[in-house]
Amino acid sequence: MEKTWNNKAWFLVLPVLVLVAFSAVIPLMTVVNYSVQDTFGNNVFFWAGTEWFEELLSSDRFWQAMVRNLVFSFIILAIEIPLGIFIALNMPKKGWGVPVCLVLMALPLLIPWNVVGTIWQVFGRGDIGLLGYSLRSLGFDYNYVNDPYDAWVTVILMDVWHWTSLVVLLCYAGLVSIPDAYYQAAKIDGASRWAIFRYIQLPKMNRVLLIAVLLRFMDSFMIYTEPFVVTGGGPGNSTTFLSIDLVKIAIGQFDLGPAAAMSIVYFLIVLLMSWVFYTVMTNYDSGQ
């Protein structure tokens, strides 16, 4: 077929291009601008080239934050995904229990991040917090302010409390879309509970699970507010994740150049991960 070339069509794309330019491209360009220059304020800039990038990639501080963040994401995925599936499988499929469960599940998702942080900050305190006080009364030496291990446990518990429901809701949506005939056929075929899960429920949840993993990975990899409110990145640097570190550099130390370089590397990592997930998902869809 002969293709029709009509450049007027570009005008139709223009509004979107303008929107995207203002919301994403232009702010990003200012970051690029900072990342290759040095400034001491007063709007005076010096060309720095790739200096900030080289410094960043050879800094232990950056890689430590990166490892901490990856470990954090891995742990919360390892807890939230199986736990979410388990809860979704055990939620009622009909009757009055459905709306009750759905509302209960949606509640943590509706609470603003910094409020979640505050809740847990108070909850975990040894003097007045229910969790901290109870643990201490039971004889545990729990103190998230001084003990890195306790700080990690608190941050992970908080994330699991906050976000497992997202996985539950996604899995539940996948589960209720399975027609009854599948369960009937499984009964006829004598499938065990495990076989039903493995060959009917899991394959049907596959796509929503990929979305859940993607969302939870991205969110946890960019987590800032809650740990900032609870631990402020401490004790020491033990809960300083990438974004907390980034804010420390940019606003705490006012090193705009290194912070900009770090932003770009951070952005590229997130982009790369998204691309990997996207590729996996589309390949899965085409049945390969």
Partner 1 sequence: MARIDCNHIRHAYGPHPKSDKDYALKEVHHAFEDGGAYALLGPSGCGKTTLLNIISGLLHPSHGELLFDGRDVTNLSTQERNIAQVFQFPVIYDTMTVYDNLAFPLRNRGVPETDVDRKVRETLEMTGLADMARRKARGLTADQKQKISLGRGLVRSDVNAILFDEPLTVIDPHMKWVLRSQLKQLHRRFGFTMVYVTHDQTEALTFAENVVVMYEGEIVQIGSPAELFERPKHTFVGYFIGSPGMNVMPVAVEGRNARLGSQTIELPGAPKAGTAGAIELGIRPEYVRLGRDGMAVKISKVEDVGRHKVVRASLEGREIAAVIGEDGTVPAEPKVRFDPARINIYADSWRVEMGA
What is the nearest approach in angstroms of partner 1 to the Cβ of residue 198?
9
Residue among 274 and 283 whose Cβ is closer to partner 1:
283
What is the nearest approach in angstroms of partner 1 to the Cβ of residue 286?
9
Residues near partner 1 (CB under 8 A): 181-182, 184-185, 187-192, 195, 199-200, 203, 287
Tell which residue, 58, 30, 55, has the closest CA to residue 45. 30
What is the nearest approach in angstroms of partner 1 to the Cβ of residue 189?
4
What is the nearest approach in angstroms of partner 1 to the Cβ of residue 169?
24
What is the nearest approach in angstroms of partner 1 to the Cβ of residue 185?
4
C-alpha distance across the termini of the chain, in Å:
31
Per the structure block, which two tokens stand in for 103? 């509302």
Residue among 90 and 192 whose Cβ is closer to partner 1:
192
Residue among 133 and 199 whose Cβ is closer to partner 1:
199
Contact 184, 232 (CB under 8 A): no
Residue among 35 and 201 whose Cβ is closer to partner 1:
201
Residue among 59 and 184 whose Cβ is closer to partner 1:
184
Instruction: Give the Å distances, CA to CA, from 56 to 39, 59, 176, 207, 269.
Output: 17, 5, 48, 37, 14
- Give the bridge partners for 121, in sequence order: none
> CA 43, CA 276: separation in Å to the nearest integer?
39
| C-alpha 192 chain-centroid distance | 35
